[in-house]
Structure 1
């Protein structure tokens, strides 16, 4: 945890659903979550820093912000990154995030990412850390029958599995370029599951 620092106030209350989006295929997760945070007017409560992160800072209208940020609103929290996580450090980053989140008795973790299929449909596929939680999403997402996922989303879901924390992965069908349409498809699924009114 020393190499991954969470600089944030505590989450306000337990039983939060935590949405997590890092840049990956199609930038699906980061685009979707930034839209949700902006439209629902989440409050930024902190940031995550690490010596492993690239030396990049987000700038909006001349004001610098951290590349990995924490937000909160009502029963939801969100972690959004503007920088990709190298495969060699995915475990450390996922472990550091989960160590911090588990202090607050979170209800479940939802990772949003892209999956490359090069198909035009923009379907949303779903995976979960247990059969019980899989039932919650099977009417809204296409359940992947077999295969593997990779990157930080996979590491976070693996941590959910080993720590017995409900974890959901929503994977928007995409190509390997920024894909707002795929992000919109994942937002639509999140809307149905969590009644976000977006």
Structure 2
């Protein structure tokens, strides 16, 4: 079946309409602690979301990705949908180069606006969690703050900045005055953090999107998940901080 390139650069199969009314999109670019990626991957698996499209924005790596036990190779950035939950998930297996952030953010935001979707952007914030559990707070653009208030998501405790592709997406939404939500979770700055991802899902993503998602497996199998994601986490540590999605105090950015 022939592929159709939408205006924003997302490809879909001919005749395969998205068919969602007012969807929520959960973004999963890899970043600090891989919290956004782990949370989004878990949603795709738990809700058995169907593969909808590959994303072809200028600057994204041209590589093929395949899975253990599956011969199907796909592009590294993909969209999955669940009509039952009015949900879209952006799943990514690669970081985004700093030079490509603006192109990717514009490309994806064009498509999000076209779909009239409300995006939830995810970011980790480096913290020492030896004594306290992951701390969560939310930021917003447009009228998104009303959603965060309705679900009692805490406000930021300090001035801060979100970097990487997620920061570029938030900046695009702010510039266009488009509704979006940004969730920031305290996480391990060195290793994949499934526990922090589980807090994102349980305390914010699930209630906001009206989902029932089992998250205990993320904590019960945390060591296994860390092992699976360790190589990507090392790649994220090796790249420039500007390329990696993370939230930091503003004083560290200036």
Q: Normalization by structure 2: what TM-score?
A: 0.70
Name the structure 2 match of 1:115: 125
The aligned runs of 1:1-198 (5 Å cut-off) are: 5-8=9-12, 9-50=16-57, 52-60=59-67, 61=69, 62-74=71-83, 75-106=86-117, 108-120=118-130, 121-130=133-142, 132-138=143-149, 139-144=151-156, 145-176=158-189, 177-188=191-202, 189-198=204-213
Higher relative contact order (CA 8 A, sep 6+): 1
Q: Counting helix residues as a fraction of each chain, which structure ranks higher?
A: 2
What CA distance in whole angstroms lies between the structure 1 residues aligned with 2:152 and 2:171?
Answer: 22
8 Å CA contact 2:76, 2:94 repeated in 1: yes
Asked which structure has the greater CA Rg, the reply is 2
Q: CA RMSD in A?
A: 2.2
Runs ≥4 in structure 1, deviation > 6 angstroms? none
**Structure 1 unmatched runs, 5+:** none
What CA distance in whole angstroms lies between the structure 2 residues aligned with 1:142 and 1:87?
Answer: 30
Q: Normalization by structure 1: what TM-score?
A: 0.88
Shift of 1:40: 0.7
Q: Secondary structure at the match of 2:109?
A: helix
What CA distance in whole angstroms lies between the structure 1 residues aligned with 2:173 and 2:193?
Answer: 27
What CA distance in whole angstroms lies between the structure 2 residues aligned with 1:192 and 1:105?
Answer: 20
8 Å CA contact 1:19, 1:78 repeated in 2: yes
**Structure 2 unmatched runs, 5+:** 214-254
1:155-198 residue CA offsets vs partner (Å, 9 max, x unmatched): 11111122232100112211222111111110112122222111
